[in-house]
Amino acid sequence: MTVSYLRDTAEQAGLKTHPISMFEIGWEEAKSRFVDLDRRPIETIFKLYPWEWLLKERFGPQALATMGHGQKDPVQWLEPIWKMLWSNKALLAILWELNPNHELLLPAYLDGPRNLKDYVKKPLFGREGKGVRVFHNWAEDLSPESHPAQGSEGPGSERRLRPPEAGSASRSRRQHRRNRELAN
């Protein structure tokens, strides 16, 4: 749906588009460029395929090589690779280390839960909650909300917060203060 919408928008703006699946993209070694099934060079590409998966594909190194400004025929990727940084859960631990006890952050570590007894483990490149494992009193919660880990990336550990209570704003503020106390 998203790809179809963006394609339609581009065509309304006068751009010519060609739909192609990730598995149909080819690499022309002689000219060091991506091509479609008709061997037309791909100059601009939009994808909903996560960068961390794309870089593990057979043409991952070429994807990196074609985005340089020094390239004869660089590819314009409409989802820039730097977005991969923001989906990496290691960033949570780095932010906590740089800003400990910040009111908008939870304790997060890459080397295990440390002193947290209620926490979650997240795959570093997890998506949409998949692979999150929940721990309560240092024991894994095997309820349906806790999914088996996916991917080979090591997990990060982050403090588990209680969901806010429904009701008045003052009750939510009390819950927020309680969560902050538990985090320290």
- Residue 174 pLDDT more than 50? yes
The band of 82, judged by pLDDT with boundaries at 50, 70 and 90, is: confident
Q: What is the pLDDT of residues 150-166, one digit of tens each?
A: 444 566 666 666 655 55
The pLDDT, as a whole number, for residue 149 is: 45
- Residue 145 pLDDT more than 60? no
The pLDDT, as a whole number, for residue 9 is: 93
Interval 159-183 mean pLDDT: 58
The most confident of the ranges 115-129, 140-154, 165-179 is 115-129
Own/partner contacts of 128-136, CB < 8 Å, gap of 24 or more, are 131/155, 134/160, 135/160, 136/160
Query: How many other β-carbons are positioned within 10 Å of the β-carbon of residue 42?
Result: 19
The pLDDT, as a whole number, for residue 165 is: 56
The pLDDT, as a whole number, for residue 58 is: 85
For residues 172 and 163, give the distance between their C-alpha atoms in angstroms, rounded to a whole number.
10
Interval 70-78 mean pLDDT: 78
- Residue 103 pLDDT more than 60? yes
- Residue 22 pLDDT more than 60? yes
For residues 38 and 14, give the distance between their C-alpha atoms in angstroms, rounded to a whole number.
22
Beta bridge partners of 44: 76
The pLDDT, as a whole number, for residue 152 is: 46
Interval 95-99 mean pLDDT: 96
The rounded mean pLDDT for the chain is 81
For residues 115 and 104, give the distance between their C-alpha atoms in angstroms, rounded to a whole number.
20
For residues 52 and 167, which has the higher predicted lDDT (pLDDT)? 52
pTM: 0.61
Interval 118-135 mean pLDDT: 86
Domain ranges in the chain are: 2-84, 88-183
Which of 181, 184, 182, 180 has the alpha carbon at shortest distance from 103? 180
Q: What is the pLDDT of residues 24-64, one digit of tens each?
A: 999 999 988 899 999 999 988 888 888 888 888 888 899 88
* Torsions phi, psi for 135 (to 5 deg): -125, 135
